[in-house]
Amino acid sequence: MMQRACACAAPMLKRNGSWQCPIARCAMRSSRASGFSLLEAIVALAILAAAGMALFAAMSQSVRMVERAEAARERESAQRNALAWLQTINPAQEPDGQVQLGDVLLRWHAEPLEAPRDAMTGYLQAGLFQVGLYRVRLALERDQRPLAELEVRRVGYKQVRKPEVL
């Protein structure tokens, strides 16, 4: 009769109709079939699904952060353009108005913070202009939706006297 040997080189014994390795820690000792059981497969899928959900949540959050950053960049760019354009207006002569800057509509309203007063010349005489400090409120809109609102202070001036001929 031929004797069987285990992978660990120990002779196999026949017990209860099946061949088993006599060494307690031998990998071949177990009579169960190799592979995954249904329970192990379900647990592995549950772990994989949880990891996938965490990855999806992280990606979703990243996309939202990129969208918010892009919106902030567009808003900041529109504000810079509006402030640069505001340098061209005189709030004493144009207290209200609107202008289209690309795809952004700029509306402004200026109100004096103090009464205009005469500007002085170097000879302590009243100058040709009256000057005043104005609060200018800006509203930026894109596609009829508010984009940003800001408030700045600007000096406005009006010519109130004519120069004397020399």
85 located within any domain = yes
pLDDT at residue 123, as a whole number: 80
147 located within any domain = yes
> Range of 127's domain?
38-159
33 located within any domain = no
d(CA 10, CA 26): 9
What is the per-residue pLDDT across 86-133, written as a single tens digit (0 to 9) for each?
999 999 999 999 999 999 999 999 999 999 998 888 787 888 899 999
28 located within any domain = no
Q: Is the pTM of this model over 0.85?
A: no
What is the per-residue pLDDT across 31-54, written as a single tens digit (0 to 9) for each?
555 677 899 999 999 999 999 999
How many domains is the chain built from?
A: 1
What is the chain's mean pLDDT, rounded?
86
150 located within any domain = yes
